[in-house]
Amino acid sequence: MKISQINIKDYNQFKNLMLDLTYPKGHQKEGQALDKICFIGQSGTGKTSLLNVCKAILRATFKPNHDGSLRGTINTADRKHQLKNILVTSYFKNLKTVIEVKEEGNIVWKWNHLDLSFSQTENIVPLDFIADFYADKNLLISFPAEMVDNVNRILQETNQLAHPFEYLKTEQEIKQNLSISQEKRKVFDFETENFLDIWTDILKNINDYKVEELKYSQQMANAFTISTEKGERILSHFKRWKQENPNPIEKLAQQLNPILNKFYLNLKTTFDFQSIEDLKFIKIQSFGGAEEIPYHGWSTGTKQLILTITPLFQLNTEETIILVDEPERSLYPDIQTEIIDYYTGIAPQAQFFFATHSPIIASAFEPWEIVELKFNEQGTVYQEQYYKGERHIDNYFIDPRYLRWDSILMRVFDLEREGNETRSEALEEACLLKAKLKKYKEENRLETDEGQKMLEQFKKLGKKLAWRLYEKN
């Protein structure tokens, strides 16, 4: 499913706000839902609120209604947002649908019955149709801005100060705990879902592989104590199993290492098998594999990347909606320049919604992918338009991809001036010096002691202002 329009009649600071989330005219994907959307705007304009609208819809519980629609209720955890008077248009396997959020958490999902006419003859209920389509896919993956903070809070609340993933359940422990639901998870919400349960699901194939490899390791150790022949036989079986079952953590390393290498780190692909705890999550080691880095030694940026990239690679993200609040958190600018392309490259068939305050993040988006939210004089929120006339790719007059960072801050993020007060004063002084130097040059006095002193002062200011003084002024 991909969202193509959000129409909010009356919700919090939004009044009659309609967001067109499709590619504009002239684009090769004209009329299709955008693959990625970036919400920007000053604090309080509702960037995170829009993410919550998307999340609440996908977390709702639906039941078939007699008129062919689906009726349901907002999840308990999402009712705190008090969603109401919202229409969301989406495309589900090329079928147009409208989801209406009414008062008191009630929600209706209506289908285009002309497009879905086959359901009448084959007696297919839309809910079953959705369930079948998402049998091996996932509806939602949601990363809050406080992703790492939430993990740290869980560790503090449970007095677990070591590696948080050491407390994940192995497959054997899951089978012993009958309270764990056997229903396959379709929503991965890292804000409200149980931390250990959600990561147990994400890492199931890796831990299953580790458990099987540990079994072979133990069998070989026991067999060789009995006879070399028996040990060699089990070793032969083990090698054949390894050939038929590629190590899933090596595939994950292919995705993580290119960006972890920028931190001079690598994903550890071998297991020590010193205890059952070695089976439960990935390990990080220094560049070249010289030293394993414990979780408390990971930088916040490293944690942020691993906690977000791993689920995107591990899970089937076809037709999944992925929400990322503040993707720039704890990331150095050089990583920010790459992170959006990195996320979308891992999950190319998903639809991404980002909310950011970073001009570097914003520069990764086409102008029609940016939704800039602003307050009007009445205190309600509207979308700033980046085009004039009809919504056509040729009519957009702002494109962050072509702007310098300072220009993005001024033209996209609406900073009224360049730099701070100190810079402004320095610019004024430099302009006065430049005018005087021009006059000195015209009067052939530039080579005088006074002229050279003035030129040296101008150059000194230029360095502080980060001017390229080798260019002719």
Which pLDDT tens digits describe the chain residue by residue (473 residues)? 999 999 999 888 899 999 999 999 999 999 999 999 999 998 899 999 999 999 999 988 888 887 778 888 888 888 888 888 898 999 887 778 889 898 777 898 887 654 444 444 344 567 887 888 888 899 999 999 888 887 777 666 665 545 555 545 544 454 444 344 456 789 999 888 777 778 888 888 887 887 788 788 888 888 888 888 888 888 899 889 989 998 888 888 898 899 889 888 998 887 665 544 444 567 888 887 678 887 778 888 888 998 899 999 999 999 999 999 999 998 888 889 899 999 999 999 999 999 999 888 999 999 999 999 999 988 899 999 999 999 999 999 888 888 776 777 777 777 665 556 677 677 778 888 888 888 888 888 888 998 898 888 888 888 877 775 444 44
CA distances to 30, 47, 160, 179, 204 from 174, in Å = 47, 38, 20, 9, 11
Backbone angles phi, psi at 405, to 5 degrees: -60, -45
pLDDT at res. 347: 95
Asked if residue 292 lies in contact with residue 268, where contact means CB atoms within 8 angstroms, the answer is yes
Do the bridges between strand 265-268 and strand 283-286 make them parallel or antiparallel, or are there none, so unpaired? antiparallel
Task: Give dist(CA 336, CA 301) in Å, integer.
Answer: 11
Positive/negative CA dihedral, 234, 235, 239, 245: positive
Task: Give dist(CA 19, CA 50) in Å, integer.
Answer: 10
- What global pTM score does this model have? 0.82
pLDDT at res. 180: 42
CA distances to 55, 114, 172, 186, 220 from 183, in Å = 20, 33, 17, 9, 36
Q: How far is C-alpha 211 from the geometric centre of its chain's CA atoms? A: 31
